[in-house]
Amino acid sequence: MYCPFCRNPDSRVVDSRIQDDGSAIRRRRQCPKCGRRFTTIETTSLTVVKRSGVGEPFSRSKVINGVRKACQGRPVTEDDLAMLAQEVEETVRGSGAAEIQAHEVGLAILGPLRKLDHVAYLRFASVYQSFDSLEDFEAAIELLRSEHAEATADDAFDED
């Protein structure tokens, strides 16, 4: 790891700490040549393999960009998107695999997006699962309706 300031190829670790969620280690380093400090973040690599077979590192911002279009005009905030991306990352990292298929990332998005906004979910699912008929939409809406009914029934039960 080169010093980002003077490109000296050597640095000394002055502090290490594990990130709160345990997914990464941050190291504070000091360059012995110019004396400046910088931080490195160490995390397990997670590669997303696209349909073409090309792999690229998992990125939360890619997840957010993929979902943002479906959320246009919906009451979904940047915080909501950040939380969704975090949930997606936890799900795909939870599998323990170093390599996952791109469609698994899409699957991991569907669950949290369904909880976040029904319209955005239908938009995303219709593209992602290639809905090609009204029946596909009807089936997805039916699923949302039955979940909503269950949630409402649970609420009523809680109030008892």
Told to check if 3 binds Zn ion by CB under 5 A, we report yes
What the block records as the tokens of 71 is 């959320």
Among 1, 14, 24, 34, binds Zn ion (CB under 5 A): 34
Told to check if 139 binds Zn ion by CB under 5 A, we report no
Q: Considering only 25-33, 38-46, 113-121, 149-157, which stretch makes contact with Zn ion by CB under 5 A? A: 25-33
Q: Considering only 33-41, 53-61, 139-147, 148-156, which stretch makes contact with Zn ion by CB under 5 A? A: 33-41
In order of 28, 29, 84, 85, the CA distances from 6 in angstroms are 16, 14, 38, 35
Told to check if 2 binds Zn ion by CB under 5 A, we report no
Q: Considering only 27-35, 41-49, 94-102, 136-144, which stretch makes contact with Zn ion by CB under 5 A? A: 27-35
Q: Rule CB under 5 A: which residues touch Zn ion? A: 3, 5-6, 8, 31, 33-34
